[in-house]
Amino acid sequence: MTVATIGGRDVQVDAEGFLTDPAEWDEELAAVLATNIGLELTEAHMAAIRWAREDHAANGETPTLRRMATAGGVSTKEMFALFPKKPAKKMSYVAGLPKPVGCV
C-alpha cells in the first residue's frame, strides 16, 4: 500500500488511488476526492455515498451499480447522471471504498 497526501492529510491508497482503509474517510475528504475527478458534490451524491458506505460496512463489499439500483434506491440512470461514465468506480473512489468487484 502507498501513502498519499489528500486534502492535507496522509491516507493509505492502493495502486489506483482508492482508499484502503474506509475509516480514514470523512465527508471533507469526499469533497476533495470529488474535486480530483471533476465532480462537485450535492446532497444527491452524498445520499448515494452514505448508503454505499453503510452497505459496505454491513456486507464487506463495495456495492456494484446493480446493487445500488436494486437495494440502494438510486437508479442506474441517476448514478450515471451523478457520476458520469464510470458511476460505480467514481462513487466508490469518492466514498473511500475499494473499487467494486468487476469494475475495470
What are the DSSP E strand ranges found in 1-104?
A: 2-6, 9-13
Question: What whole-number distance in Å separates Cα of residue 51 and Cα of residue 85?
Answer: 20
37, 46, 69, 103: the active-site residue: 103
Return the number of other C-beta atoms located less than 10 Å from residue 69's C-beta. 16
CA atoms within 13 A on the CB side of 21: 9
Q: Which three cell numbers stand for residue 83?
A: 457520476
Annotated catalytic, 52? Answer: no
Which residue numbers are catalytic? 103
